Structure 1
Amino acid sequence: MKINCIVIDDEPLAVQLLENHISKIEELHVIGTAQNALEAYKLLKKNPVDLIFLDINMPDLNGIDFLKSLHHKPKTIFTTAYREFAIEGFELEAVDYILKPITFERFFKAVERVLRQNPENKEEEFIILKSNGLQHKIALTDILFFESQGNDIKAVLKGKKEIAAKYKISDLEMNLFSKGFLRIHRSFLINQKEVKAIGNNELIIDNYSIPAGRIYKENYDQLKQDFKRIANKNPKGSSIGFLNYLVSLS
């Protein structure tokens, strides 16, 4: 399923940059752009919109007030040069808050959060791994994590099952990033839905302790923030999202 999005920004170069970034992610589809809130209202009336890339400093009505005015609020990623509105932006439950100039790497991390949350993004529910001359069809929901072993990977599955295959973990990361899998270490790609507890430098999946790598610290910190956000909304514990058990934060 395509995610319909609009870009709202009064700077043409900023719009052009975001459209270029969006074009690199096949799940996203731009249905229009707007330079101000009034143009944006017209787009929202004519089209179903799943995601807004929203500037804050715009004429007549700023991005914060525009989003507040919407009865139905699509997922929103703020794109702005101003740090001071970040808290207010997150209070409006924005998916992310990106500071300009926006690199593709930072843009990708924000969009990846949307794709992880998208319940319609289920066109592929399994992966094929070749091992010992056999093609194994493995449901994504059965996978706990992947571990890199040189040029091979090991898929660790529920029920203590393991399958070794010729596969690069970097290729798996690209193929599964929109399916809820996150790289937190050069050797580990995890199924976020199976995370039971998270600390400063490790997380727990089933009975496995998985380390966090320094170069993937931003991914790991974002995962911790997601846990905190859900824990704060559901202090007694909840099955909402990927929080299956009470979160342990150290």
Structure 2
Amino acid sequence: MINCIIVDDEPLAATLLENHISKIDHFKLVGKAENAMEAYKLLQNQKVDLMFLDIHMPHLNGIDFLRSLSQKPKTIFTTAYRDFAIEGFELEAVDYLLKPITFERFFKSVERVLRNSDPKDDFIILKTEGMHQKLTLSEIVYIESQGNDIKVTMASNVSFISKSKITDLEFALVSKGFVRIHRSFIINARFVSAYNNNEVHLGDHKIPIGRSYKQEFDTFTSFVSKNKLL
């Protein structure tokens, strides 16, 4: 059983999350809080395995609250804004959910908590052409947004089309060696062969760098340098 708490000052958002949690057999909601101080008391008095944490709250926002904790439960950020995804990544959050949160997106997020997989064998499951396709992360070269679909290109040069949004995958993959460098592209840093300020080369594939993704690109270059990928 995974003990959960919800920290959110919006009653409707908290109720929606509570309904989602009630549908997962292995999840148990052990408390709700409307601000950081109430959440802190819950963490002191309850065994909490997973915290659903809103970012915009009175007095102390969710990012600063999580950063202040010496012992952090697994955390899934919930927010109406995508601006804090990098901070969430740095705090090793499980995921970053954008409101309003559908059950499908919620389930994709909590599946990572339920699944205890070896990072070398980590994977995603996408519905493609009526089938649920298991795609090993280490074999994905890049992901491209194509309107209401995404195209996933593999190392074998095979591609898969799925009716998904690129934002649904962005936060989950960034801690796995992936980075979003354009509104339409997420790349796997393991396949980078060259880059400059305008584009990244993944073998024969050339991916443009979007101006508004400079911070993500800086994170990417730091990752490349740290892991000696080039």
Q: Same fold (TM over 0.5)?
A: yes
8 Å CA contact retained: 1:184, 1:217: no
Instruction: Tell me the alpha carbon deviations over residues 87-140 of structure 1, each in whole angstroms, 9 at most, x when there is no partner.
Output: 222221222222222222222222223223x46xxxxxxxxxxxxxxxxxxxxx
The alignment partner of 2:58 has SS state of coil
Cα deviation, residue 229, structure 1: 3.2
User: For the pair shown, which has the larger CA radius of gyration, 1 or 2?
Assistant: 1
Q: TM-score, normalised by structure 2?
A: 0.61
What residue in structure 1 maps to residue 162 of structure 2?
214
Over aligned residues, Cα RMSD in angstroms? Answer: 3.1
Counterpart-to-counterpart distance in 1, 2:58 and 2:36: 8
AA aligned opposite 1:72:
Q
8 Å CA contact retained: 1:52, 1:77: yes
Runs of 4+ in 1 over 4 A off after TM superposition: 216-219
What residue in structure 1 maps to residue 134 of structure 2?
190
Shift in CA distance, 196/69, structure 1 to aligned 2, threshold 3 Å: closer
Cα deviation, residue 248, structure 1: 3.1
Counterpart-to-counterpart distance in 2, 1:106 and 1:112: 10
Number of residues paired by the alignment?
Answer: 170
| 1:199 counterpart = 2:147 | no
The alignment partner of 1:213 has SS state of strand
Matches within 5 A, 1:4-153: 4-116=3-115, 118=116
Q: Percent identity?
A: 54
8 Å CA contact retained: 2:6, 2:14: yes
Counterpart-to-counterpart distance in 2, 1:217 and 1:84: 17
Counterpart-to-counterpart distance in 2, 1:35 and 1:185: 40
Q: TM-score, normalised by structure 1?
A: 0.57
Cα deviation, residue 19, structure 1: 0.2
What residue in structure 1 maps to residue 176 of structure 2?
230
Cα deviation, residue 183, structure 1: 3.0
Give structure 2 stretches of 5+ with no counterpart: 143-151, 179-188, 193-201, 203-230
Give structure 1 stretches of 5+ with no counterpart: 120-143, 145-178, 233-245
Cα deviation, residue 216, structure 1: 4.8
Counterpart-to-counterpart distance in 1, 2:37 and 2:10: 15
Instruction: Tell me the alpha carbon deviations over residues 7-60 of structure 1, each in whole angstroms, 9 at most, x when there is no partner.
Output: 001122211110001111222221111111111111111222111100112122
Counterpart-to-counterpart distance in 1, 2:42 and 2:88: 22
Shift in CA distance, 247/115, structure 1 to aligned 2, threshold 3 Å: farther
The alignment partner of 2:21 has SS state of helix
